[in-house]
Amino acid sequence: MTNLYPWLGLVLRAFIGGYFVFAAVPKIIEPLAFATSIAHYGLLPSWLVNGYALIVAWLELVVGIMLVAGFRVRPSALVCGGLLVTFTVAVAYAVVLGLKIDCGCFGSQGGDEVSWYKVAKNTVMIAMCAYLWWKPTTAFSLDDGLLGKRS
């Protein structure tokens, strides 16, 4: 059974990392659309929205690539999980307020409307990040060699 852990980690790494890369690219291409989505939540002061949008989009891209490559899995999973917690709190806040807004997950490329379903999906991805933080040794990882064994 323990031989399956590195392969499970690979699947989770590829999913979470790929999701973050896929979500980051449209935000980087159209930062104003992402900043507008962030502003719709009403959680940040207007002077902070544009900078936050730029930083978060690039951070998503970098940690997504790091997870896909298996480079620094534990810190990458921690950052992804932290971002997901932030996003989930914002979505839950919007749902409680009854806001009818797009989550902003994929910039202007569309995303889900904020909902408890979106909160649940994010919570599952947070659990995946927690697993990767707990068991960072995965197959086909730059950190651990080709088959997840330290060399």
37: nearest Cα among 84, 79, 87: 87
Decide if 70 contacts 16 (C-beta within 8 A). Answer: no
Mean pLDDT of 81-91: 97
Asked if residue 1 has pLDDT above 70, the reply is: no
Q: Structural domain boundaries of the chain?
A: 2-134
**Higher-confidence position of 3 and 62:** 62
The rounded radius of gyration (Å) of the Cα atoms in the chain is 16
Tell me what pLDDT residue 2 has: 61
Q: Residues 17, 68: contact at Cβ < 8 Å? A: yes
pTM for this entry: 0.90
Mean pLDDT for 62-86 is 97
Quote the pLDDT of residue 148. Answer: 45
Report pLDDT for 106.
Answer: 84
- Tell me the pLDDT of the chain averaged across its residues: 91
